[in-house]
């Protein structure tokens, strides 16, 4: 058998088309792979600086998370949070700030002005917008003492 009949009879067209495609695919994959080698090596060589950068990013993220959602009170105020909470429950909400200071001094709380200032900064005591103040129960739930 000769000519086109012979090619068709032996699946010549399919073999040639498939063979050419596989050769092309193989070399394309290889060329793609080797075109990335120097980029991967560059990453590897600079791994220390990338590590440092990632480390800094993570630290920054932790710090911002801590300030936003996990407010941490100064250690000297930690103990007074419960005392002030009980005191405010006695006074009743909303309360005027001078009254809270007055009561806290009468009860013998140490450094009451400074402690109230810390509670204000930690947003545990918040203004109600009418000249009075409230105990912030939401912040108290998230607080790490």
Partner 1 sequence: MVDLLIEFLSNTGFALAGYQNIIMILVGIVLIYLGIAKRYEPLLLVPIGFGILMGNIPVIRDFGLGIYEKGSFLNYMYFGVMHDIYPPLIFLGVGALTDFSAMLARPSLMLLGAAAQVGIFVTFLGALALGFAPNEAASIGIIGGADGPTAIFLTAVLAPRLIGPIAIAAYSYMALVPVIQPPIMRLLTSRKERLIRMEEPREVSKKEKLIFPIVGFLLCCFIAPGALPLLGMLFFGNLLKESIVAERLARAARSSIIDTVTILLGIAVGASTQGDVFLTAKSIGIFTLGASAFAVATAAGVIFAKFMNLFLRQKINPLIGAAGVSAVPNSARVVQIVGQKEDPTNFLLMHAMAPNISGVIGSAIAAAILWSFLGG
User: Which parts of this chain interact with partner 1 (CB under 8 A)?
Assistant: 1-4, 6-7, 10, 12-13, 15-16, 18-20, 22-35, 37-38, 41
| Burial class for 88, CB neighbours closer than 10 Å (0-12, 13-18, 19+) | buried
- Shortest separation between residue 17's beta carbon and partner 1, angstroms: 8
- Shortest separation between residue 47's beta carbon and partner 1, angstroms: 13
Nearest one of 79, 67, 85, 76 to 125, comparing CA atoms: 85
* CB closer to partner 1, 2 vs 137: 2
For the stretch 94-103, contacts whose Cβ atoms lie closer than 8 Å and that sit 24 or more positions apart, written own/partner, are 94/128, 94/130, 94/132, 94/133, 94/134, 95/132, 95/133, 96/131, 96/132, 96/133, 97/125, 97/133, 100/125, 100/133
- Please state, in angstroms and rounded to a whole number, the distance separating the CA atoms of residues 123 and 110: 20
* CB closer to partner 1, 28 vs 66: 28
- The answer to whether 7 and 13 are in contact (CB under 8 A) is yes
- Shortest separation between residue 19's beta carbon and partner 1, angstroms: 5
- Shortest separation between residue 120's beta carbon and partner 1, angstroms: 59
* CB closer to partner 1, 50 vs 132: 50
* CB closer to partner 1, 10 vs 144: 10
- Shortest separation between residue 54's beta carbon and partner 1, angstroms: 23
């Amino acid at each position: 058998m000769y000519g086109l009949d012979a090619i068709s009879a032996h699946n010549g067209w399919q073999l040639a088309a498939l063979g050419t495609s596989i050769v092309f695919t193989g070399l394309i994959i290889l060329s793609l792979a080797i075109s990335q080698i120097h980029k991967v090596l560059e990453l590897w060589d600079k791994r220390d600086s990338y590590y440092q950068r990632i480390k800094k990013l993570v630290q920054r993220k932790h710090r911002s998370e801590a300030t936003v959602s996990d407010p941490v009170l100064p250690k000297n105020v930690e103990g007074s949070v419960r005392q002030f909470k009980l005191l405010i429950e006695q006074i009743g909400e909303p309360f005027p700030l001078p009254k809270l200071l007055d009561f806290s001094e009468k009860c013998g709380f140490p450094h009451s002005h400074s402690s109230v200032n810390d509670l204000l900064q930690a947003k545990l005591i918040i203004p109600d917008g009418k000249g009075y103040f409230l105990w912030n129960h939401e912040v108290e739930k998230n607080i790490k003492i």
